Structure 1
Amino acid sequence: MAGEVSGRRTRPARTGWIARVRRWWGRALGSEGHERSTVLLIAKGTLAATIAWVISYHLLHAQSPAFAPFSAVLIMQVTVYQSLLQSSRYVGAVVAGVAVQAALGFLVGPDVPAFALVALVALTIGRWPALGSQGSQVATAAFFAFSTYVSATSTLDKVTQLGQIILLVLIGCGIGVLVNVTVLPPLRYRSAEHGIRTLAHALCDLVSDIYPALRERGLDEERTGRWRARAEQTGELVTQARTGLRMARESLHYNPRRLFRRGRAHTYFEGYAAVLEALERTLRQVAALTRSLDKWSADEDRYRYGAFLASYADFLESLSHITRVFADLDEDRLGDQTSQLHQLADEAQNYRRRLAEQAERDDLPLTDPGRPYGVLVIEAARLMEEFQYTCDVLQHHVER
């Protein structure tokens, strides 16, 4: 009985693990994304490391052949630009470490005080900002070089082994960069779209929560407080979107695949950057709107001005339709999407005008600084300006 129970418990867990693995590989093979990038990076790293090992061990018969495959894998960055940048820094760090060991080793000797001096100088050089994240490799190279120096039996052997370390690193970095450039060099066009989509989704979800509550006049303090908190916590999404856009731009540098784009990518990235900035400003305006609604939640006059609330809900609903298009932004459909955005923007402009007319009919105290009505009307106008500007900017870059 215990075995049966144990079997029943183990089998579903094992089946679930297999199903997750299948789904992961399905995503990797079926569409572009993190899974496919991971598989591609592992495959390219394996290829580069193998080629570097064959050259260093079987052709050069190096005493420390692992330096070459280690270097090839170390600089196998996501983008070609990063591979070139990090390989240059890594080579510089290794050369500096070996040079420190060579200079101090021949001057001071192979004793413990010499090692301490090598470590001190190498760690100090490793702090040089120009080396970036590869600064720690100065000390690593110096320590390996010291070990090689100590084990060498003659001066010529010592010089040869230290020079061989630099040669193996150059071979490994060269192979790593060559593989990354020639074997499906990564282009991150979709990273820019993904960041904008995520930001637009957050904006769409927030606005879509607000306008039904306005129709129902459900502006209690707890609800408006949650809106304020959500609007003020979008900074991380903005940072992620900017990172995605930066990676997308960076993936073009020195990438041969960009030649097949015939200059379109640069134009689109400019448009995406403008859209991202406009969405960021729009989120700030929505945050200001939620603060005004939070003030209204304690104002009993909202029951008197139900028609104004309904008009405001119609206006925000029209804006939510625009955010849904941005949340589905796709380079292959930008032409159709920009036309749709302009139609939706025209509809939203009509709703904003109706909102202003409703405020006049209700004779709202718009000039009273202690009441939220004037601020709400102003926020509606500012929101419309930002949405209209976003649509116009995207249309401009698509037509270029």
Structure 2
Amino acid sequence: MAAGRADAQESSKWFVRGRQWWGRVFAGSERQRVLLVTKSTLAATLAWIVSYYGLDAQSPAFAPFSAVMIMYVTVYQSVTQSLRYVGAVAAGVAVQAALGFLAGPDLLTFVLVAVIALSIGRSRVLGVQGPQVATAAFFAFSTYSSATDNMTRLSQLGQIVLLVLIGCAIGTAVNVTVAPPLRYRSAEHSVRILARALYDLTADIHPALRKGAPDSDTTARWRERANQTDGLIAQARAGLHTAKESIHYNPRRLLRRHRGHLTFQGYETVLNALERTLSQLASLTRSLDQWKQEENDYAYRSFLVRYAAFLEAISEVAYALSTLDEQELSRQTQNLDGLVRDAQTRRREVAEEAEAKTLPLADPARPYGALVIEATRLMEEVQYTNDTLQSWVET
């Protein structure tokens, strides 16, 4: 009885896990992986059919292997890497053919083939496909050594190159024609990464400023977090680069409507603005961390309250950008425009408070002057980001 319940619980657990996995697939988090596996399987199968049944090749596995090798996440990468892969294989086979026919299939020939193939493989032209020169040369040497006469050897070496060409052609064709990846979502996600970093930091700063001048441990933590955004920026730029690359040679770009959608230029403009905003915020945290508080700073607490309200408005803008969805871009930009106008109002209140309280803006030991300047610069970048999004929606 207990064993039956245990089996039922185990079955239920696997059912729940399966349902969660399919949920992620349909939600998109696993969709690209499943699609890539499916396309690779289709390409490998077609390449095997052509090489094994159509050509009756002696080593038909070269074709499906090649088809899978060049199945990249973008059509551009599939095209460029297939050309490099074919070039690498052809170079390796050519080295073996030249030395094999001149010196024969002995140990010294293999050593010379290895040295030359490995040297060619280090060429920058071949890029990541460089090691395939030596791999192809070694396979070619094995094929050459097992053949009985020169005509058979020449035929089999040529067949290796032909099979690689077939595999690359089929793999590229499948990647181009079967749901070719157009990674606008990667560009969108890049914007979200930086916007979320901006939101997280400003959302942490403004409540503390509203309570008064923060202590040195708190400002040091803010400064450290702001300095750690370089990795996020690099990640965001890599995502944007992949997204921009996905449009080359991709037939789906002709089906995309540009009205109401950001182009890659638009995403890059927004990303640049967010990067500059994070840089300004890092400068702001440095100013706070270098603050040497004095006894009469309490008189300026109302300024910090105003400044906290400004940073809170910036955090709301950042949160809106962190949820950017181009399918909802028209509605989101309307909401964003209102948030930006509110942030502009808060920035003006900061400037007015600084004038009303006659703050020591020129005192390098106090951050008031730097804070006013950083507020203006932050607002300029936020306004520029908003203007960019508004212009793309209206065109």
Note the C-alpha offset of 1:4. Answer: 7.0
Post-superposition shift, 1:301? Answer: 4.0
CA distance in 2, matches of 1:111, 1:80: 42
Letter in 2 for 1:27: R
> Residue 180 of structure 2 aligns to which amino acid in structure 1?
P
Match of residue 26 from structure 1 = 23
1:196 corresponds to? 191
Return the TM-score normalized by structure 1.
0.93
1:224–1:297 contact (8 Å) kept in structure 2: no
Q: Does 2:248 correspond to 1:253? A: yes
Is 2:377 aligned against 1:362? Answer: no
Which of residues 308, 316, 322 in structure 1 aligns to 2:311? Answer: 316
Aligned counterpart, 2:338:
343
Distance 1:266 1:334, change over 3 A: closer
Which residue of 138, 141, 146 corresponds with 1:143? 138
User: What is the root-mean-square deviation in Å for CA atoms of aligned residues?
Assistant: 2.1
CA shift, 1:189, in A, is 0.8
Q: How far did residue 296 of structure 1 move?
A: 3.3
Deviation at 1:18, TM superposition (A): 5.3
Code of the aligned partner of 2:263:
Y
The number of residues matched between the two structures is: 394
Contact 1:220 1:297 in 2 (8 A): no
**Normalising by the residue count of structure 2, what TM-score does the alignment of the two structures yield?**
0.95
The reply to whether residue 48 of structure 1 matches residue 72 of structure 2 is: no
Quickly say closer, same or farther: Cα 1:44–1:265, change in 2 above 3 A: farther
Q: Which residue number corresponds to residue 165 of structure 2?
A: 170
Change (3 A) 1:265 1:345: closer
Indicate the residue corresponding to 2:71 in structure 1.
76
Q: Distance in 1 between matches of 2:263 and 2:393?
A: 7
Q: Does the 8 Å CA contact 1:302/1:309 hold for their aligned counterparts?
A: no
Work out whether residues 261 and 392 of structure 2, in 8 Å CA contact, stay in contact via their aligned partners in 1: no
State the alpha-carbon separation in 2 of the partners of residues 189 and 86 from structure 1: 22
Q: 2: CA distance between counterparts of 1:210 and 1:186?
A: 40
The alpha-carbon distance between structure 1 residues 281 and 14, as it changes in their structure 2 partners (threshold 3 A), is: farther
The CA distance in 2 between the partners of 1:379 and 1:357, in whole Å, is 15
Taking the aligned partners of 2:319 and 2:261, their CA distance within structure 1 comes to: 25
Aligned residue number for residue 332 of structure 1: 327
In the TM superposition, residue 278 of structure 1 has moved relative to its aligned partner by 0.5
What is the correspondence of 1:147-226 to structure 2 with a 5 Å cutoff?
A: 147-217=142-212, 219-226=214-221
Assess, with a 3 A threshold, how the Cα gap between structure 1 residues 181 and 21 changes in structure 2: closer, same or farther: same
Question: Which blocks of at least 5 consecutive residues in structure 1 are unaligned?
Answer: none
Aligned position for 1:276? 271
Q: Please name the residue that 1:89 is paired with.
A: 84
- The whole-number CA distance in structure 1 between the counterparts of 2:259 and 2:118 is 45
Pick which of 53-62 and 117-126 moved more.
53-62
1:183-214, Cα deviation, whole Å (9 max, x unpaired): 11111111111111121111111101111111
**1:127 corresponds to which residue?**
122
